[in-house]
Amino acid sequence: MTAPPITETRVITARIHERPDDSWTIGAALTTGAYDTLRQVLATGDASAVQEQVKLSGLRGRGGAGFPAAQKWSFLPAGSYPRYLVVNGDEGEPSTFKDRMLVERDPHQLVEGIAISSYAIGCNKAFVYLRGEFALGYERLTQAIADARGQGFLGDNVLSSGFDLDIVVHRGAGAYICGEETALLESLEGERGMPRIRPPFPAIAGLYAKPTVVNNVETISTVPHIMRMGGEAYAKLGVNRSTGTRLFSVSGHVNRPGNYEVELGVTFRQLIDDLCGGVREGRGIKFFIPGGASSQWLTGSDEHLDAPLDMDYVQQTFGVMLGSGAVMVFDETTDPLLVAWRLCKFFAHESCGKCTPCREGTGWIEMVLYRMLHGQGRPEDLDLLLDVGDNICPGLNAPFSQTTICPLGPSAVSPVVSLHKLFRDEVLAACGAGSRAGVTG
Amino acid sequence: MSASYFSDANLLRAKEILARYPRPKSAILPLAHLAQDQDGWLSCEAMMEISRLVGVTPAEVQGTTSFYTMFKREPCGRLLVSVCTNVSCLVTGGPEVLDHLRSRYASDADVTVEEVECLAACGGAPSMQVNYEYHERLTPESAESLVEEYRAGRRTPRTISGSKAAG
Ligand SMILES: Cc1cc2nc3c(=O)[nH]c(=O)nc-3n(C[C@H](O)[C@H](O)[C@H](O)COP(=O)(O)O)c2cc1C
Ligand code: SF4
């Protein structure tokens, strides 16, 4: 028996679909309820009530690590001001393209989310770190902020509540590592984007050494809906500790790539087949990457395709992550070595160079994969790669162990471990023969 | 004292930018973008001026800005074509677009073609940006005709830092 096809559950993408031609304008936003929730929240005058609802909602960060948002907010030391909210819009994780859509197509939802969240944590100056390449997003977001200010939703004494809020949009300049929250803070302070050693955590000493919350664009865009629906109602969406909806950016060999908002708990198969129309030319799936380039891979097996989009389930069962919500699908014609090499080339390029295992290790991994891909591989190369990987994350057990300051180094080991776990024979055959016919896509 | 590197209008913008931040050093990235909006690249003169405005040494400005790939340390073409070859574009034809544009514009000083990492446009792979304007679902031929439309003035490019051209 086959289940009926699933559809999207549109919470944070409702306005984008309702007003496809002008969802980003203040006019369209106001006629579709933007800032109503902010008004209500400020009218009740109870910042701790927001924290309580967000806690009840079970909202977990959408940037990659899935940390509970309310818990992060609760780490801010009492009585210590100023404190900052920094929204992470750097979106550089390969194949992730949801935050760009949220910023370009619904900036007012983000601004409302920033206002409510800032009110909740007692912040009067919030920053959005926006990826430098997002030229249109920057334009729309700065326009939205100006329009919101014009309507009294930002600035001094927001809606006569006594709450002041200023939002600064800060453009990055082309460095993936600046998506890592402490590198982002360094970059925002005018430094090279190199991660900081923790502790202290940003909640204690973040931007300008002040207490700081860093949250992803999608996380903050969800907050107005939690307050509108109520935390408990929001928590009814989703599954287990993966509550609510999430945006999944699906790309690669599917017929209808794009961003889809679904209730957590639907399966990969439903996402790929029902929403994305399956794989092009009716081919089978050889493998897919379930949560951005940093995640390990899954295959087109029933066991993997029928797994639910549940952050803890996929982590505990398969050692993969939903991460940034990017699902990359590769059909049976794809050479896994090619994909592994390209991802490791990316990590080698983006390593900030602060720690040796990552700076040196990612470069060597890339070079060895390159020779394997080009018919120069040696039979022992895969094990050599695993050995290099073991120096970056001992036991090859990311995210639980690392010799590096941040998880970028371990991320470069994910493709290697995936080759070993899923395609060992194929890779060994390619290297054993000593030469390969050439490179195919 | 020598005249300011920034135009009068941009000097005003620079002061506005500085006023946004609790600490002036935070303004280095936005000021470097502003310099590129003005001149199309980040020259030594620009970095000297930024160092004066921010109150740090020129070396600190260079130390920071040289970390970031969007800052061009030598002049590039009027059109900066950035083609993605990361995995979603890799398996849908990105490298073919890149190769085609590279050879087509190899000796054309007007057009700089660069290979870039994921542009967050994988839903429309293969994709590229022309002066940070997105173009998706490309073929080598459609990519070339887009660049030609910019060259012929049928499309208005943004600046080398992606701002709307100053009016
Ligand atoms: C190398 C690296 C890159 C990252 N890039 C991003 C990014 O582009 N956007 C993002 O929101 N989080 C990114 N993160 C995760 C952030 O460090 C941080 O966990 C997140 O912004 C917190 O927000 P959340 O709790 O709302 O998810 C990255 C992490 C690492 C290690
Ligand atoms: S792991 Fe890599 S990217 Fe992260 S701090 Fe170390 S060198 Fe930099």
The residue in chain B having the minimum alpha-carbon distance to the alpha carbon of residue A326 is B122
pLDDT of residue A3: 80
Contact yes or no for A293 and B87 at CB 8 A: yes
CA of A338, closest CA in chain B: separation in Å?
9
pLDDT of residue A84: 98
Closest ligand 2 atom, CA of A351? 3
pLDDT of residue A239: 97
The answer to whether B15 and B44 are in contact (CB under 8 A) is: no
Closest ligand 1 atom, CA of A69? 25
B84-137 tens-digit pLDDT: 999 999 999 999 999 999 999 999 999 999 999 999 999 999 999 999 999 999
Q: How do B79-84 and B128-130 pair as beta strands?
A: antiparallel
Closest ligand 1 atom, CA of A72? 25
Contacts of B67 in chain A (CB under 8 A): 175, 192-193, 352
- Which residues 79-108 on chain B approach chain A with CB closer than 8 angstroms? 82, 85-88, 90-92
CA atoms within 13 A on the CB side of A24: 19
Interface test with B, best of A129, A169, A191 (most B CBs within 10 A): A191
Task: Give DSSP secondary structure letters for B21-83.
Answer: SSSGGGGHHHHHHHHHHHHSS--HHHHHHHHHHHTS-HHHHHHHHTT-TTS-SS---SEEEEE
How far is Cα B30 from Cα B32, in angstroms, rounded to an integer?
Answer: 5
Domain ranges for chain B? 8-65, 79-162
How far is Cα A190 from Cα B64, in angstroms, rounded to an integer?
Answer: 7
pLDDT along chain A (441 residues), means of 10: 88 98 98 98 96 98 97 98 98 97 98 98 98 98 98 98 98 98 98 97 98 98 98 98 98 98 98 98 97 96 98 96 97 98 98 97 98 95 97 85 95 97 95 54 39
Average pLDDT of the residues of chain B: 96
Q: How do A258-263 and A212-216 pair as beta strands?
A: unpaired
Q: CATH homologous superfamily of domain B8-65? A: NADH-quinone oxidoreductase subunit E (1.10.10.1590)
Contact yes or no for A342 and B90 at CB 8 A: yes
- Token couple for A212: 């700081």
CATH class for domain B79-162?
Answer: alpha beta
- A227 CB-near residues (< 8 Å, 6+ apart): A37, A40, A41, A50, A53, A116
pLDDT of residue B167: 43
B17-33 tens-digit pLDDT: 999 999 999 999 999 99
Facing A328 at nearest CB: one of B26, B87, B117: B87
Left if phi > 0, otherwise alpha if psi is -120 to 50, otherwise beta: which for B149? alpha
Q: Is the peptide bond before A399 cis (omega within 30 degrees of 0)?
A: yes
Question: Are B8-65 and B79-162 in the same CATH fold?
Answer: no
Contact yes or no for B125 and A251 at CB 8 A: yes
- A296 CB-near residues (< 8 Å, 6+ apart): A318, A319, A320, A321, A414, A417, A418, A421
A395-439 tens-digit pLDDT: 997 677 899 999 999 999 999 999 999 999 999 999 975 444 444
Give which of A209, A134, A142, A193 is closest to B28, Cα–Cα: A193
Angle (nearest 5°) at CA A406 between A402 and A407: 65
Contact yes or no for A139 and B164 at CB 8 A: yes
Contacts of A249 in chain B (CB under 8 A): 122-123
E strand or H helix at A295, and its extent?
none
Contacts of B20 in chain A (CB under 8 A): 168
- Token couple for A176: 């993936």
Pocket of ligand 1 (CB under 6 A): A 61-65, 67, 88, 90-93, 177, 179-181, 214-216, 219, 406-408
This prediction has a pTM of 0.96
Place of tokens 């700081």: A212
The answer to whether A99 and A91 are in contact (CB under 8 A) is: yes
- Which residues 131-160 on chain B approach chain A with CB closer than 8 angstroms? 131-134, 158
% chain B with pLDDT above 90: 95
Q: Which ligand is nearest to the CA of A392?
A: 2
Contacts of B63 in chain A (CB under 8 A): 192
Facing A189 at nearest CB: one of B23, B70, B88: B23
- A146 CB-near residues (< 8 Å, 6+ apart): none
pLDDT of residue B2: 52
